[in-house]
Structure 1
Amino acid sequence: MTLPKPEVGLIIGFNYLSRREHDQGRDNALYPRPCAIILSRRRAGVRLTIVMVSPITHSAPTADEQALDIPLRAEHHLGLNDARSWVVTHEANEFV
């Protein structure tokens, strides 16, 4: 199976390690979740692509968190379920 080129806006399944999980001492995420690619760049002189993702969640942001509400029509287009969703913007994971 050929993987798609990582592009900004692409939704992928990823074992996102949240800040809360990290602070609890976890090295691995509890489960995979949909994530939005928010940055994709090639490292100069190296054949590696650095990707940064933000998780998509059903949990509404609290007063000290930031997130973008995903319109229901966009959720359907992306293949997400009918529950209200947000793209978390106050934290992100980066990987090669």
Structure 2
Amino acid sequence: MGNNAVFSDLLNKIFADKLNVEILCSLYDKNLSVNDISSMLNLEIDELERHLEILVDYKILTKIQNESDVSYYLKEPKVCDSIIMLKDALYSLSIKSNL
């Protein structure tokens, strides 16, 4: 599978799921525990952990095991920056089409 195919697969599997996008943006510029993310996004721990493991498998997040807790952080904040820029661009397009 070429690099373009791998990238397309990553986009389809990760960014097509709204919950993955919300998780990624919740971790922007900070480490958070599963409980923190769960509270912030109002998600059940089991569901959240499945999504977190997928994001770790795709090497978008890093999992840090502490003595009493597990936390996650976004390896590259530009991922969230890109999501925000895309949302802004799409919002601008929708505004312009309604004029």
TM-score above 0.5 = no
TM-score in terms of structure 1 length: 0.28
TM-score in terms of structure 2 length: 0.28
Higher alpha-carbon Rg: 2
Higher helix share: 2
Higher strand share: 1
